[in-house]
Amino acid sequence: MTNTEIYRKAQWKINQELGGFYIPRLMIDREVLDDCEIYYNIFSHDFFKAFFGEELVQGLETNPNTEELILVPAWQVHLQLMILEKDPLKYLEKFL
């Protein structure tokens, strides 16, 4: 799948399957998008909140006092993991 296809499918999933509503920060009406335009939109908290939700899950950090994993919204965990990927859109593609 191309980066444009991944992005478009993620938008569709948010608006159709997940019942959410996401308005991109940058509205683009062309058929093919360049990576800068895609990354500008997907690296936003609004996009990740709409795609992964705010359900609390175990985060990547531990409480220094108890050594227990801290509960954080799912979108934060996925955003942190995606940022670490060599190709962030391929991370997102796994959830389509």
Q: What Cα–Cα distance (Å) separates residue 28 from each residue in 1, 16, 23?
A: 19, 19, 11
For residue 41, count other CB atoms closer than 10 A to its CB.
Answer: 20
CA-angle at 14, arms to 40 and 55, nearest 5°: 95
What gap in Å lies between CA 24 and CA 47, rounded to an integer? Answer: 8
Q: What Cα–Cα distance (Å) separates residue 20 from each residue in 1, 34, 58, 71, 92?
A: 23, 25, 23, 23, 17
pLDDT digits (tens, 9 = 90+) for 57-96: 988 787 788 888 889 999 999 999 999 999 999 999 999 9
pTM confidence score: 0.77
Number of structural domains in the chain: 1
User: Which domain, by its residues, includes 39?
Assistant: 3-93
Structure tokens that stand for 43 in this block: 């690296």
Beta bridge partners of 69: 62
pLDDT digits (tens, 9 = 90+) for 29-58: 666 677 887 888 888 888 888 899 999 998
